[in-house]
A and B are shown apart, each in its own frame.
Chain A
Amino acid sequence: MNYTFALCGNPNVGKTSLYNRLTRSSQHVGNWHGVTVGKVEKEVDINGDKIKISDLPGLYSLTVYSQEESITRDDILTSKNDLIVSVCEANNLARNLYLTLQLLELGVPVLIVVNMIDELTKRGLFFDSQKLEERLKVPVLTTSAKYKFDTSELLKQGISALHSSKCMVDLPYLSKLPIGKVQDIIAPNIKDSKLNKRYACIKVLEKDNFVIDKLQLNDEQKKNLNALGDTQSLVARSRYDYIDTIVDGIISSKKKEPKKSITNVIDKVVLNKYAALPIFILIMSGIFWVTFGSIGNFLTDLLGYAISDLSNFVCTILKDISAPEWVIGLICQGIIEGVGSVLTFLPQIVIMFFFLALLEDSGYISRLAFTTDGLFGKIGLSGRAVFTMIMGLGCSATAVMTARGLEDEMMRKKTVILTPFMSCSARLPVYTAIAAAFFSSGNVPMIIGLYLLGALMVVIFAAIFEKTPLKSGEASFVMEMPKYRMPTLTRIFQILLNSAKNFIIKVGTTVFAFNVIVWVLGNFSFTHGFVALGNGESVMESVGSLLAPIFAPLGFGNWKAVTALISGLAAKEVVISTITSLGGMGEIFPDSLAAITFMVYTLLYVPCTATLSSIRREVGVKWMIFGMMLQLSSAYIVAFAIRSIIAAFIKSIMLGIIAVGCTVISIILLGYLIEAIFKNRKCIRCVGACERCK
């Protein structure tokens, strides 16, 4: 038999973890709300039955608020799922059952899986799934998807559940709702809408616009419905009152629980009004120091030596067997050195992704959203945009998709086109290699400066947009705060392995292919065949030279730099492999100033094609082009401005940096001081209720 199971539940209850266990997949997981933004499905075999399992974005109710949530609602309503696996979190049972009840109202076969049961067990609590099963008359299983478990049991239970399920579970609280009255009003419309009758009536009471639009109610009907009063609150309250009777006594404790959880203790420090921001800066500096400073640098150097040894070895052999000149060039310069120049950054890329995953898995990223929401709110973004921005430090192409969780459409679009300004991991080799060539290797402050510049561009543009028709609508920020969680060792291992694998695959395919193309175009001419580098005849040189004058004001107006930037559109890593296989930094950048402007330009100009197509999918061609114009123009302007400023101060460059640094620090300190003294004269323990604060 063939079956389809859909995983449905609140955000961050571990649906994707469960999906990964059931289907042996490795979909992205994280400890924050809204990691999964689209539907994925995979088929598994169990005792000859084929089960197609689909993972859906999390949601709180079948009445939805954002794009990703509507994917789930539409799947539940329209796809022919044989069984909905209602995934609940053990710590949060009542709120999770709120959604489960809506699935039961709809009359679909449901299996309840209570996840994260280990967290209860660790606290010495006991979960009585049998009691829950008896009360709800729906099969209940408990599990911990974080750890390995026997998935066949769950699947077998699922199959037996769908065979034994009653279509309409009797839900006593429904008798308290004026469903009969609603049915009388909307009866003629239900048939055409193809909606389930009970579901339609309840959703009309909840004033769900999706259902109301589907039913095409007339003004008379709407008026009659409004006469029923505040039915929204009534429905919510009835469900919660019923849930309270259901969950009573389900979780029992063997010993007395400590009043303060670890999460509360950590949050007391991490979310402290004054410490929160410095702690964030400290954490990020730490990440950058490990990635770009001593440790990351050491590992990259080690790999670099190995690759150059290999290059020498291969080249000697090729020369010994007197291979043609162009073969030696292609293999040694084009492939080994070029591709190798990117591959050496493997350790640093892995370290970066490891830390990003740690930020996600620990739950810290949600704290960051809370901490910065006030700041983001002022520039028309929401604290939720932090998720997208931090993910953007890894890969822009996947990060822009996480913006789907943003409720305001304008805000979502702006977040998407601004995300590429956050320096992604593909740009990391460019900075590191150039900084190492022109400045000291492991030049952490310079690299941090580039990352900050990218973030600053996001803030500046968002602030500018707020003064234009691109202003965001009045946005809300309602975000659940996950508990702090420790990733398991297996998970850490998986993160390291996956990021290494992805990087090696990218280097082996995109970077490799483009490097060969660039090398061939750079060394062959249309008429003369192999011409070797730099004698003015190769295809790349003739094309590149046409564009080169544009970049002359930036200091790198030569065809090689132009070629590197163009090929960087395939993947940003290609910028550095192109530079290497076209003869190295020395020939491209006349001075260290040109190297700086080149890094700034690479940071800000158009993202890679994978990101562009991802942006187009999310916000459409018009916005994608708008974003590209924004990036191209700001890259040129900022790079030129920085070049001019540095050139003006070149003799006292250190003085300039110190002065700028001091100014920034003093402005921040002054800001804090003003905030502390004037703006928030409220006392720390009060949100404005006490006499003084009024």
Chain B
Amino acid sequence: MTLTNAKIDTVYVVKNIVGSTLKRRLLDMGFAPGSKIRSIRIAPFGDTVLVNIRGIEIALRKNATDCIEVEVSK
């Protein structure tokens, strides 16, 4: 599943980053495979989500969350 479908306030683990242009950007900003990630809230107009990755809060638009494959943290 991708981060777009993730539940709010549930901890996931980044499995893989897909896509081309955004991939490196996301990797550089801390979305490396194996990192813990949690969605915090959705923006008022939808499409934009605030997530917590490695203790940092980052806002992402849907085309970015689509690139982030996650699985539920064990």
With beta carbons under 8 angstroms apart, the residue of B5, B26, B64 that contacts A687 is B5
Give the residues in chain B near A375, CB-CB below 8 Å: 45
A373 touches B29 (CB 8 A): no
* Contact status B42-A237, CB under 8 Å: no
Given A383-B59, A478-B60, A690-B7, CB of A373 within 8 Å of CB of B45? yes
* A687 in contact with B27 given A92-B55, A273-B44, A377-B61 (CB within 8 Å): no
Q: Which A residues are CB-close (under 8 A) to B28?
A: 60-61, 63, 98, 236
Chain A hits for B40, CB < 8 A: 267
Query: How far, in angstroms, from A372 to B39 measured CA to CA in the complex?
Result: 18
Determine which of A65, A95, A371, A685 lies in contact with B30 in the assembled complex, contact meaning CB atoms within 8 Å.
Answer: A95
Knowing A95-B30, A371-B44 are in contact, say whether A477-B39 is a contact too (CB < 8 A): no
CA distance A679 to B27 in the complex (A): 32
Taking a contact as CB atoms under 8 Å apart, the answer to whether B57 and A481 are in contact is yes
Is the C-beta of A136 less than 8 angstroms from some C-beta in chain B? no
Residue-wise, chain B 29-51 has the 8 Å CB interface mask toward A (1 for contact) of 11011110001111111111110
Contact with B along A663-694 (1 / 0, CB 8 A): 00000000000000001100001111110000
| Smallest CB separation, A657 vs chain B (Å) | 28
Q: Name the distance in Å between A681's Cβ and chain B's nearest Cβ.
A: 12
Chain B residues, CB < 8 A from A91: 55
Cα(A276)–Cα(B46), bound, Å: 12
Q: Which residues does chain A contribute within 8 Å of B27, judged by CB atoms?
A: 232-233, 235-236
Instruction: Establish whether residues A207 and B60, one from each chain, have CB atoms under 8 Å apart when the complex forms.
Output: no
Q: For residue B45, which residues in chain A have a CB less than 8 angstroms away from its CB? A: 371-375, 377-378
The residues in A between 237 and 255 inclusive whose CB is less than 8 angstroms from any CB of B are: 237, 239-241
Interface of B is mostly: mixed
Verify B43–A240 contact, CB threshold 8 A.
no
Residues of A within 8 A of B35 (CB): 240
A476, B44: Cβ atoms closer than 8 Å:
no
The reply to whether B8 and A481 contact each other, CB–CB distance below 8 Å, is no
Q: Does A118 contact B (CB under 8 A)?
A: no
- A480 in contact with B57 given A61-B24, A271-B41, A273-B42 (CB within 8 Å): yes
- Residues of B within 8 Å of A277, CB to CB, are 44
> In whole angstroms, how far apart are the Cα atoms of A687 and B1 in the complex?
13
**In the complex, which residue of chain B has the Cβ closest to the Cβ of A209?**
B24
Q: Give the residues from 282 to 323 in chain A that come closer than 8 angstroms, CB to CB, to chain B.
A: none
Which residues of B lie under 8 Å from residue A274 when comparing CB positions? Answer: 44
A477 and B59 within 8 A (CB)? yes
User: Which residues of A come within 8 Å of B, CB atoms?
Assistant: 60-61, 63, 65, 91-92, 94-95, 98, 206-208, 232-233, 235-237, 239-241, 267, 271, 273-274, 276-277, 369-375, 377-378, 383, 474-481, 679-680, 685-690
In addition to A95-B29, A233-B33, 15 A-B residue pairs with Cβ atoms within 8 Å of each other are: A95-B56, A207-B24, A236-B28, A237-B32, A237-B34, A276-B43, A276-B44, A369-B59, A370-B50, A377-B47, A383-B48, A476-B64, A478-B58, A687-B4, A687-B5
Question: What are 16 sample pairs from A and B whose C-beta atoms fall under 8 A apart?
Answer: A63-B28, A95-B56, A232-B27, A271-B50, A371-B43, A372-B45, A377-B48, A476-B64, A477-B48, A478-B61, A480-B58, A481-B50, A481-B59, A680-B46, A687-B8, A687-B39
Top 10 A-B residue pairs of the complex, sorted by shortest distance between their CB atoms? A374-B45, A236-B27, A61-B28, A477-B61, A481-B57, A236-B32, A373-B48, A240-B32, A60-B28, A370-B59
